Copies of this chain bind each other. A is one copy, B any other.
Amino acid sequence: MARTQGSHSDITGPRIRAAALKLFAQHGYAAVSMRQIASEVGVQAGALYNYTPDKQSLLFSLMEGHMTELLQAWQDLRDPDQTVSAGSAEDHVLARLEAFTRFHIRFHLERPDAVFIAYMELRNLSEDNFTAIESLRREYENALETILKDGVRLGVFHIPDTKIATLAVIAMLNGVMTWYRSGGRLSLDEVEAIYWDMVQKSVRA
């Protein structure tokens, strides 16, 4: 813990990010001071400014990192799959929706703090930073909306408005964050199955 003097290149940068992530999620960006973050890492407040120009940049960097990871992880999951699969087009669009549902739940439950911040601290971003994050979020929503639109075209789904359905499905899935605790009475796979049942039925024709 508490350093005394001199250079300890170390891995202070990542530890600052980890501490900020945890504290921002717990108490909120505005309620957390740079001194608190420094204390969690075991350095003095001034030292933080070797790693971030200011508090706002630290928040933005955490949120941007999270959204980029999310998009990349979904890409990675989809890519090997581009090779045409067996089965009907109808089955395929259902499989894509199931893959998205399970991916979303698993990815988000693995990083509750980052998810919390990405949704709760939007209003504490500067205007430019907000625009950037919103654009990444929209990109992710489009991934789901594309699936829903394909399903509607094939007659597999009945959806009055695909944009609203997209947001409704994501909102429902995000709800899992408010109650799920690993080690609870339900396994991750059971949780995924329950939500997949509801999601699938909610958009079915």
B160, A197: Cβ atoms closer than 8 Å: yes
Segment among A54-62, A79-87, A90-98, A170-178 that sits at the interface with chain B: A170-178
Report how many copies the assembly holds.
Answer: 2
Interface range on chain A (Cβ under 8 Å from partner): 35 or more
Q: Which residues of B lie under 8 Å from residue A164 when comparing CB positions?
A: 179, 186, 191, 194
Kindly state whether residue A89 has any CB partner on chain B within 8 Å.
no
Q: Tell me which of A5-13, A23-31, A41-49, A106-114 binds B.
A: A23-31
The interface bits of chain A over 112-140 (1 if a CB of B lies within 8 angstroms of the residue's CB, else 0) are 00000000100110000000000000000
Q: Which residues of A contact B (CB under 8 A)?
A: 26-31, 120, 123-124, 160-161, 164-165, 167-172, 174-176, 178-179, 186, 191, 193-195, 197-199, 201-204
